Amino acid sequence: METPQIDNTRIAEASRGALSRDDIERREKVFSVVDLAVSYSGKVALQDVQLDVHRNTVTAFIGPSGCGKSTFIRCFNRMNDLVPGAKVEGTVLYHGADLYSDDVDPVEIRRRIGMVFQKPNPFPKSIYDNIAFGPRVLAMKGDLDERVEGALRQAALWDEVKGRLKDGALGLSGGQQQRLCIARALAVEPDVILMDEPASALDPIST
Ligand SMILES: Nc1ncnc2c1ncn2[C@@H]1O[C@H](COP(=O)(O)OP(=O)(O)OP(=O)(O)O)[C@@H](O)[C@H]1O
Ligand SMILES: [Mg+2]
């Protein structure tokens, strides 16, 4: 069976949205992907990917299951570094700087370029502590309770959990857990949030 491949033409179409190509290309480039290839233990998952992502545009990658969408999105914050056997080749520029250069700290990259995973992955901690985790580690300024509430409101979860913030996050429904993970990503105010099918566990209204 032929391996499904990301179709660059369709990526470009999806990233174009309602704006004309000229409109988009006038915007600042946030990411530039050049000749990207990813393999797992020598087996090619992605190859020959070229793509620019411009500021303030919605860019979506679509394609059949297994075509490499999650693999691709993990290249934008070096999350594939943590996948055993994964090898990333080619160039990913972030505001013109090579994300894979030796002098780049992947932990700092992941703070600035946050991620919501395809499967919800709350920490086995309280709802409050899940959101407060990042701001505490980073010793972020400001009132922590307000930050937690703000993030939960942005993720449309506040009303459902405001009376049970000390309860365990694993007791939430799948869709609530996914919104919790979105709130957790928002709480550290990243520059970019990469979302891997974040609404797959949500109904249309929650989405
Ligand atoms: N950790 C891994 N180890 C080995 N192979 C992997 C790993 N992750 C993904 N792959 C392989 O890479 C290819 C692309 O997988 P990926 O998860 O990126 O697809 P996807 O487009 O996100 O699919 P889906 O829509 O089902 O989420 C698949 O053939 C998959 O089996
Ligand atoms: Mg996927």
Ligand 1 pocket check for 70: Cβ under 6 Å = yes
Per residue of the chain (207 residues), give pLDDT as tens.
Answer: 455 565 655 555 555 556 677 777 788 899 999 999 999 999 999 999 999 999 887 788 888 999 999 999 999 999 999 999 999 999 999 999 999 999 999 999 999 999 999 899 999 999 999 999 999 999 999 999 999 999 999 999 999 999 999 999 999 999 999 999 999 999 999 999 999 987 777 777 777
**What pLDDT does 43 receive?**
96
**What pLDDT does 15 receive?**
53
**What pLDDT does 166 receive?**
98
Ligand 1 pocket check for 69: Cβ under 6 Å = yes
Residue nearest to atom 30 of ligand 1 (CA): 66
**What pLDDT does 13 receive?**
54
Residue nearest to atom 1 of ligand 1 (CA): 83
How many A from CA of 197 to the centre of ligand 2? 7
How many A from CA of 6 to the centre of ligand 2? 12
**What pLDDT does 10 receive?**
55
In one-letter notation, the amino acid at residue 58 is: V
Closest ligand 1 atom, CA of 3? 29
**What pLDDT does 61 receive?**
87
Closest ligand 1 atom, CA of 38? 12
**What pLDDT does 24 receive?**
75
Closest ligand 1 atom, CA of 197? 27
The structural domains of the chain, ordered by start, are 8-99 (3.40.50.300), 108-207 (3.40.50.300)
3-state SS string over the chain?
Answer: CCCCCCCHHHHHHHHHCCCCHHHHHHCCEEEEEEEEEEEECCEEEEEEEEEEEECCCCCCCCCCCCCCHHHHHHHHHCHHHHCCCEEEEEEEEECCEECCCCCCCHHHHHHHEEEECCCCCCCCCEHHHHHHHHHHHCCCCCCHHHHHHHHHHHCCCHHHHCCCCCCEHHHCCHHHHHHHHHHHHHHCCCCEEEECCCCCCCCCCCC
How many A from CA of 144 to the centre of ligand 2? 33
Ligand 1 pocket check for 71: Cβ under 6 Å = yes
